[in-house]
Amino acid sequence: MDFTINFWAIFACSVSAMVIAAIWYGPLFGKKWMEICGVDPLDVEARRKMQKEATPLYAIQFMLTLFQVWVLAYYIEGFKAASALGNSLWIWAAFIIPMIAGSAMWTNDPKKVVWARFLIQSGYQLVIFIMFGLILGAWK
């Protein structure tokens, strides 16, 4: 099989995912996420510590996202029965949701926290996978 993959589209998807994450875990759900992680949003020192510890992880997350979108691009290119967006949604439903559900369910957290964690994380993944499908479908 000879696939033509647009690497600029993969890069654009990865950058877009980081921007969406900053909004998703910032103004949209940042306070709830800090509550789930046990950080008081009013504790400036704890927030600074959390941000300092997270900074090196951004580069790792970006590289993982590049890999994720690269695999998705090859998958979409090879499976023509569905659109790029359709493929993205199938992958989200079949692989992403079960992984997030498993990581949320198998904790000792209260059900309210489990559901909040699951909905915030799976919602973010749904948004970026829709965006991935749209970008990869448009930039063929």
Prediction pTM value: 0.76
Q: Is residue 28 part of a domain?
A: yes
pLDDT (0 to 100) of residue 133: 92
In this predicted structure, the answer to whether residue 18 has a pLDDT above a threshold of 90 is yes
Q: Is residue 2 part of a domain?
A: no
- Residue 16: CB atoms within 10 A of its CB come to 18
Domain extent at residue 97: 7-138
Q: Is residue 91 part of a domain?
A: yes
Confidence of residue 140 (pLDDT cuts 50, 70, 90): confident
> In this structure, is the dihedral angle defined by the CA atoms of residues 16, 26, 109 and 53, taken in order, positive or negative?
positive
How is residue 103 written in tokens?
A: 């990581």
| Locus of tokens 């199938």 | 90
Q: What contacts 90, CB < 8 A, 6 or more positions away?
A: 82
In this predicted structure, the answer to whether residue 120 has a pLDDT above a threshold of 90 is yes
Of 93, 89, 96, 70, residue with least CA distance to 3: 70
Residue 2 DSSP code: -
Cβ-in-10-Å burial (0-12, 13-18, 19+) of 61 comes to: middle
Q: Is residue 16 part of a domain?
A: yes
- Say which residue, 129 or 40, is predicted with more confidence: 129
pLDDT (0 to 100) of residue 3: 65
Distance of alpha carbon 132 from its chain centroid, rounded?
10
pLDDT (0 to 100) of residue 127: 97
pLDDT (0 to 100) of residue 64: 83
- The full DSSP string for 17-40 is HHHHHHHIIIIITHHHHHHHTT--
Span 100-121, average pLDDT = 87
In this predicted structure, the answer to whether residue 1 has a pLDDT above a threshold of 60 is no
- Please give the tally of structural domains in the chain: 1
Q: Is residue 1 part of a domain?
A: no
Cα–Cα distance list, 114 to 41, 71, 92 (Å): 19, 29, 19
Q: Is residue 114 part of a domain?
A: yes
Q: Is residue 46 part of a domain?
A: yes
In this predicted structure, the answer to whether residue 71 has a pLDDT above a threshold of 90 is no
Q: Is residue 40 part of a domain?
A: yes
Confidence of residue 2 (pLDDT cuts 50, 70, 90): low
Span 25-52, average pLDDT = 85
